[in-house]
Amino acid sequence: MARKIIDNPNSCTLVHAMNIIGGKWKPIIIYLLANGSLRFGKLLLFIPNISKKVLTQQLRELEDDRLIIRKRFAETPPRVEYSLSERGKGLLPILKQLSYWTSKSFSTIEFEDCKIVSL
């Protein structure tokens, strides 16, 4: 499935940002990588509702947009780890603020504390 891009005739920065990190899974993947690199299987464990196909697609798009780094190790069996790039780390304070806004705006809901690390 191809990436869904919102038409951006006025070159709005917010529309561009949402084209890059919008959607259901990308902010969660970025959040999980905030504490360090993870392998594909670990990401699948931490996001149980995502399929392998969708996770692969989301990781490729994040890599194409240079938000994550895919490191392949020359081992048998092959090992791949994903980590945040400097550009991806720049999103952490924004995600942290979004988390804060949610907890304040929806105070009747009991949320777990998100442990987003600002690197």
- Nearest CA to 44 out of 64, 34, 29, 62 is that of 29
34 has a pLDDT exceeding 60:
yes
Looking at the predicted structure, is the pLDDT value of residue 3 above 90?
Answer: no
Mapped onto helix, strand or coil, the DSSP state of residue 103 is helix
Contact 55, 35 (CB under 8 A): no
Domain ranges of the chain: 14-105
Whether 5 has a pLDDT exceeding 80, the answer reads: no
Q: Which residue has the higher pLDDT, 58 or 22?
A: 58
The dihedral region occupied by 113, where left means phi > 0, alpha psi between -120 and 50, and beta the remainder, is beta
Helix (H, G, I), strand (E, B) or coil at 65: coil
Answer whether residue 67 shows pLDDT above 50. Answer: yes
Q: Using alpha carbons only, give the angle 56, 59, 65 rounded to the nearest 5 degrees.
A: 140
Phi, psi (5° rounding) for residue 2? -75, 155
Q: Cα(17)–Cα(20) distance, rounded to whole angstroms? A: 5
* pLDDT in the model for residue 1: 58
Instruction: For the beta carbon of residue 44, count every other beta carbon within 10 angstroms.
Output: 14
In CATH, 14-105 is 3.40.50.2000: no
- pLDDT tier for residue 110 given thresholds of 50, 70 and 90: confident
If pLDDT is split at 50, 70 and 90, which confidence band does 119 have? Answer: very low
Q: What are the tens digits of pLDDT across the range 41-59?
A: 999 999 989 999 999 999 9
State how beta strands 79-84 and 38-39 pair.
antiparallel
Which pLDDT band, with edges at 50, 70 and 90, does 60 fall under? very high
